[in-house]
Amino acid sequence: KPLREVLFFPVPVTCIEPVLSPMKQCSCPLPHTDSAFSRLLVQLLGAQRSLELCVFTFSSPSLARALLILHRRDVRVRVITDNDYMAAPGSQIGPLRSAGVAVRHDQSSGYMHHKFAVVDGTVVLTGSLNWTVQAFQSNKENILITDDTVIVKAYQKEFERLWEEYDPA
């Protein structure tokens, strides 16, 4: 049955420990309920082989944790981001690079403004939001999730094209 789901934001803050550390019991005061944000994390953490991420700004610590979990599981994680914001205060790009995640960035005056991810070459998540806490908690935003082959192939191809274009070598 085809996967097609749209997540809308903002959402109230909930605890995401059940998603990031399912083996532990969490007793923090936040609600331990599902939300569009936990749905997003579940989709990303489902990656078994590869995660390609193309995102303008990335400052969400929870999403960085999710990528590091995948990286430690030997999922191939590749990130493309915008050169104008990757060194901004709170950016997670530096910490991800230090942890060994492969990151490339544009070098142009125009923005690398995409906000999409491809999971295992079979699912695409694309939408309006950058990976910032403000986007998830304060803005009106959307993420479309689909496994439609035509759509997934188009985004995967665009990722590979940009990955080569931004090769620093």
Pairing of strands 76-81, 50-55: parallel
**Contact in structure between 24 and 17 (CB atoms under 8 Å):** yes
- Does 114 interact with a copy of itself (rule: CB under 8 A)? yes
Catalytic residue among 32, 84, 120, 147: 120
**Contacted entry of Zn ion, a copy of itself, none for residue 15, CB cut-off 5 to 8 Å set by kind:** Zn ion
Element (H, E) at 125: strand 123-127
- Does 158 interact with Zn ion (rule: CB under 5 A)? no
CA pair distance 85, 69, nearest whole angstrom: 24
**Contact in structure between 103 and 79 (CB atoms under 8 Å):** yes
- Comparing CB distances to a copy of itself, the nearer of 45 and 145 is 145
Of 74, 52, 79, the C-alpha closest to 153 is 52
Catalytic residue at 105? no
Minimum CB–partner distance for residue 125 and Zn ion (Å): 24
Catalytic residue at 115? yes
- Does 86 interact with a copy of itself (rule: CB under 8 A)? no
Q: 127: number of CA atoms within 13 Å, CB side?
A: 21
Amino acid at site 101? V
Catalytic residue at 106? no
Among 37, 85, 131, 155, which residue interacts with a copy of itself (rule: CB under 8 A)? 155
Among 11, 14, 17, 126, which residue interacts with Zn ion (rule: CB under 5 A)? 17
Catalytic residue among 34, 113, 140, 153: 113
Binding range to Zn ion, per CB under 5 A, among 1-9, 10-18, 109-117, 148-156: 10-18
Of 32, 30, 38, the C-alpha closest to 11 is 38
Nearest 5°: the CA angle 67, 125, 123 is 90
Interface residues with a copy of itself (CB under 8 A) are 4, 6, 8, 10, 54, 56, 106, 108-116, 126-129, 134-135, 137-142, 144, 146, 148, 150-151, 154-155, 158, 162
Interface residues with Zn ion (CB under 5 A) are 15, 17, 26, 28
